[in-house]
Amino acid sequence: MDDTLKSLLAEKKGQSLSAVELAALAAGFRLEMFDVLHSRGTGHWGGASSAAEITTSLYFNRMNVDPSNPAWEDRDRFILSKGHASMNLYTILAYKGFFSPGDLPGFRTLGSHLQGHPSMKKTPGVDMSTGALGHGLSIGVGMALAARLSGKKHWTYVLSGEGCLNEGQTWEAAMMAAKYRPERLVYMIDYNGVQLDGTSDDIMPLNPLADKFKAFGWNVAPKLYDGHDMKSLLESYDWMDSDDVWPKAVIYQTVKGKGVSFMEGKSAWHGAPIDVDSYAKGRPELLADIEKKEAAL
Amino acid sequence: MSVAMRDAFGAKLAELGKTNDKIVVLDADVSSSTKSAIFGKAFPDRFFNVGVAEANLVGVAAGLATAGYHPVVNAFAIFLALKSTDQIRNVFCYNHLPIVIAGAYGGLSDSFDGASHQSITDIAIMRAMPNMEVIVPADSRQAELALEYALQQNTPVYIRLNRNAMPSVPEPANFASKKVIVLKEGKDVTVAANGITAAMANDAAALLAAKGVDAEILSIPFVKPLDGDGLAASVAKTGNLVTIEEHTVVGGFGSACLEALAKRKMTYAFDAIGVEDRFTETGPYDELLAAYGLSAESIADRVMKLLNK
């Protein structure tokens, strides 16, 4: 993170950031993810990058969390059902203040609290361990039902990719959520259209995805939002607040590997190590994006 | 005969629900079979029937557990162990969540439904998972005690339950100590019985006594953690061990006993009674158990063979 972004974080600590501020921050986080994933030679770039704006806006605009008290029982919950995007979540949590950003380079090393996939027992701020795909929505239903039982008003956000939607458990949970309708449960889909082996259309077509959730009895957002555009993301949050009909599903159109042109939309960059040449070629693009976003501040 | 384990367990669950408002109960469309419906009727707000969806059942319970609740998940043992293995391992156990996994219709007790419903691999699966405790009660009273115990733990506990009315054994003085329960002291052979086989072993002891064999009968409900010291003390005395389980002999209770003793470098003669490495079949429960060597007579015969008598 450059000095501009560090000062922005320091100035706005604990406050909700604006769209332009969030955009600059997300660009900075994306570069940080890219750097660590390259230096470690392991991890998942494609899905970490596609969710950069989604998680940045959630944690720095919307979610009610307290980094000094990760176990605060009234906090909003976030479940990264697509747990392979762990580098994304770790970067966000570190700069949110749950732990030192200096821990990030230790990602996936022996003894680090930053496991290959998120572990709630190891990393402050991680609300649920994930990795095996398809778990998130069920767990989110349970968390939201717990809030109902205990009279709490916090939100539960579950972020999923296509892989989770391939799993049958997600649809079991979708049925149950429509039966019990837990308040403030939101299923957010990072719909980048690419899985490990190829495009979703080739591997396991999901469309018409919004219609599927509607047919399951969900309150589905009236449009697809641009998961890389902060104004669009903030608009989706306005929609979440617009009525009291639960559960809610929101689909974000995103690009896998967003920000590095030759990696975008390619399944090869789902989990491949970022080699030296690709790193050298890709990094300037991410730096340029930061400059552009910072110019708008 | 005592009341069926499932009836006792269901009634105890509802009773505990009166004083512990952190208990939440989930079932996968078998609540009238598992008897979790008793709780559901008494506390509808804390009861969730998720339909026939065991993976989701476990996931939802985990979410509730992260917020201070103590879920009790109910479904048939075979489907909990097989259809929600990933969720039990990666969510319950990995996160060390306080959850009771109540596996109904354990062993061959869903006898008429046949091999598809008979749970002969659940103990092997559950005990392999880090952070999991595994209890196989011998009778209805032990099932109640197991539930009370499990709800006081901050870890996943698997309790394997039986469907049918079965004979009881004397109530242990301190179930929660997790120690082997000595039903009868003896000097010639240790018969270590898991679950409902304890009552059969007790009956076998009388048959053996008539043949001049003084058997020590142990009821061992805690497969994990296993009281290796208690077992070893008995085997050191008798020099002979027969394990009995309503489960495959591969990886279950007998295997757990051997693992515990192997570390102690003991010498003893051994036999394991259980379902050999094969699938089971349909039939009346008592006949089915006997067909797979689970009867007082079979146990006595196997002991005599082990002792070369």
Show residues of chain A in contact with B69, CB under 8 Å. 146, 149
**pLDDT digit string (tens) for B27-67?**
999 999 999 999 999 999 999 999 999 999 999 999 999 99
**Which residue in B27, B45, B50, B56 has the most chain A C-beta atoms within 10 A of its own C-beta, making it the best mutation to test that interface?**
B56
Contacts of B48 in chain A (CB under 8 A): 145, 176, 180
- Give me the pLDDT at residue B50, please: 98
Search chain A and give the residue with CA nearest B43.
Answer: A149
CA distance B60 to chain A (A): 4
Is B59 an 8 Å CB contact of chain A? yes
CATH 3.40.190.10 for domain B5-160, yes or no, is no
Please tell me the total count of domains within chain A. Answer: 1
Provide the number of CB pairs (under 8 Å) joining chain A to chain B: 102
How do beta strands B222-224 and B70-76 pair?
unpaired
Same fold, B5-160 and B175-306: yes
Tens digit of pLDDT per residue, chain A (297 long)?
A: 999 999 999 999 999 999 999 999 999 999 999 999 999 999 999 999 999 999 999 999 999 999 999 999 999 999 999 999 999 999 999 999 999 999 999 999 999 999 999 999 999 999 999 999 999 999 999 999 999 999 999 999 999 999 999 999 999 999 999 999 999 999 999 999 999 999 999 999 999 999 999 999 999 999 999 999 999 999 999 999 999 999 999 999 999 999 999 999 999 999 999 999 999 999 999 999 999 999 999
The answer to whether A140 touches A148, Cβ cutoff 8 Å, is no
Average pLDDT, chain B: 97
Alpha-carbon dihedral angle through residues B25, B31, B36, B41, given to the nearest 10 degrees: 90
Of B60, B86, B96, which is closest to A142 when you measure between CB atoms?
B60
- A252 three-state secondary structure: strand
10 Å CB burial of residue B46 (0-12, 13-18, 19+) is buried
Q: What is the three-state SS of chain B?
A: CCCCHHHHHHHHHHHHHHHCCCEEEEECCCHHHHCCHHHHHHCHHHEEECCCCHHHHHHHHHHHHCCCCEEEEEEEHHHHHHHCHHHHHHHHHCCCCCCEEEEECEECCCHHHCCCCCECCHHHHHHCCCCCEEECCCCHHHHHHHHHHHCCCCCCEEEECCCCCCCCCCCCCCHHHCCCEEEECCCCEEEEECCCHHHHHHHHHHHHHHCCCCEEEEECCEEECCCHHHHHHHHHHHCEEEEEEEEECCCCHHHHHHHHHHCCCCCCEEEEEEECCCCCCCCCHHHHHHHCCCCHHHHHHHHHHHCCC
How would residue B275 be classed by pLDDT, with cut points 50, 70 and 90? very high
Q: Which of B22, B23, B43, B60 to probe the A interface (max A CBs under 10 A)?
A: B60
- Residue from the list A73, A119, A135 with its beta carbon closest to the beta carbon of B87: A135
DSSP code, position A114 = S
> Nearest residue on chain B to A79, judged by CA atoms?
B63
CATH number at residue A55: 3.40.50.970
Phi first, then psi: what are they for A6, rounded to 5°? -65, -45
Peptide bond before residue A124 is cis, with ω within 30 degrees of 0: no
Residue in chain B closest to A123 (alpha carbons) equals B95
Q: Following CA atoms B277, B281, B284, B289 in sequence, which dihedral angle do they give, to the nearest 10 degrees? A: 0
Instruction: Please count the other Cβ atoms lying within 10 Å of the Cβ belonging to residue B265.
Output: 6
Which residues, in sequence order, are CB contacts of B286 under 8 Å at separation 6+?
Answer: B295
User: What pLDDT, on a 0 to 100 scale, did the predictor assign at position B153?
Assistant: 98
For B175-306, CATH number out of 3.40.1160.10, 3.40.50.920, 3.40.50.300, 3.10.450.50 equals 3.40.50.920
Which residue is closest to A75 within chain B, CA to CA? Answer: B67
pLDDT tens track for A155-193: 999 999 999 999 999 999 999 999 999 999 999 999 999
Q: How far is CA A264 from CA A45, A49, A148, A199, A212, in A?
A: 10, 10, 41, 12, 27
In chain B, where the domains are located: 5-160, 175-306
- Containing structural domain, residue A61: 3-295
Note the pLDDT of residue B2: 75
CB contact under 8 A, B91 and A139: yes
Residue A191 · residue A150 · CB < 8 Å:
no
Bond prior to A208 in cis (omega within 30° of 0):
yes
- Are B56 and A169 within 8 A, CB to CB? yes
Whether residue B154 lies within 8 A of chain A, CB to CB, comes out as no
**What is the interface pTM, i.e. ipTM, of the complex?**
0.96
- The answer to whether A129 contacts B69, with C-beta atoms less than 8 Å apart, is no
Indicate if the pLDDT at residue B1 is higher than 70: no
pLDDT digits (tens, 9 = 90+) for B125-171: 999 999 999 999 999 999 999 999 999 999 999 999 999 999 999 99
